């Protein structure tokens, strides 16, 4: 479990959480949280956890989902990752959304939220096997953030990044 500052707590998204007030500075991320996160949660399409500040405002959130990748998408990945994989679709964990409200930015909450999201992916991967964590970045700033966490580009898709299951294991152990 990742430790957050005193008074902050992580919780599953609920209807009572004040999503409309959340603003991370990225309209697509804000729109996702405000209009789609709860619907997708209720339909069992994704899972969203919110970081609640001491005053119960939303300091941040992340959304996780599962997905599959076709073997051909991984054809250009390092041979050590795909060497023994059968030629079929493979399960992946997808950190689909992550945001920190502007009033809480600069406190490394994004790093802590991603660390917890990766721990959740790792825990799920111990029950339902995954070969990697795969995500799509919205812009260069987001890409730089994930690259600090050792995510690598999927060749031919500069804004789609991946982290192998082996690297995820190593990150979670540290």
pLDDT of residue 72: 57
Mean pLDDT across 30-36: 97
pLDDT digits (tens, 9 = 90+) for 89-147: 778 999 999 999 999 999 999 999 999 999 999 999 889 999 899 999 999 999 999 99
Contacts of 85 (CB under 8 A, 6+ apart): 71, 74, 131
CA distance 119 to 171: 9
pLDDT category at 75 given cuts 50, 70, 90 is: low
Q: What is the pTM of this model?
A: 0.90
Give the closest residue to 125 by CA, choosing from 168, 89, 84. Answer: 168
pLDDT (0 to 100) of residue 77? 56
Report in angstroms the alpha-carbon separations of 2 from 51, 64, 113.
12, 16, 8
Whole-number pLDDT of residue 78: 55
Q: Which residue has the tokens 């998408």?
A: 73
Residue 122 has phi, psi (to 5 degrees) of -60, -45
48 pLDDT more than 90: yes
pLDDT of residue 82: 66
Phi, psi dihedrals of residue 126, rounded to the nearest 5° = -85, -15
pLDDT at 52 (0 to 100): 98
User: Domains of the chain by range and CATH?
Assistant: 9-173 (3.40.630.30)
Q: For residues 113, 117, 120 and 122, what is the CA-based torsion angle, rounded to 10 degrees?
A: -120
Q: Is 40 helix (H, G, I), strand (E, B) or coil?
A: helix
């Amino acid at each position: 479990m990742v430790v957050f500052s005193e008074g902050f707590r992580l919780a599953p998204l609920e209807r009572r959480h004040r999503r409309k007030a959340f603003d991370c500075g990225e309209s697509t991320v804000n729109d996702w949280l405000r209009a789609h996160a709860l619907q997708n949660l209720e339909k069992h399409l994704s899972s969203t956890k919110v970081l609640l500040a001491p005053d119960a405002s939303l300091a941040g959130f992340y959304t996780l989902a599962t997905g599959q990748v076709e073997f051909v998408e991984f054809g250009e990945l390092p041979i050590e990752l795909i060497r023994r994989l059968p030629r079929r679709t493979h399960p992946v964990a997808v950190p689909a959304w992550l945001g920190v409200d502007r009033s809480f930015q600069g406190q490394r909450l994004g790093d802590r939220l991603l660390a917890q999201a990766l721990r959740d992916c790792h825990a799920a991967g111990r029950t339902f096997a995954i070969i990697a964590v795969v995500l799509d970045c919205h812009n260069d700033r987001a890409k730089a953030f994930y690259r600090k966490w050792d995510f690598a580009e999927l060749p031919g898709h500069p804004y789609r990044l991946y982290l192998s299951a082996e690297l995820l294991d190593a990150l979670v152990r540290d």
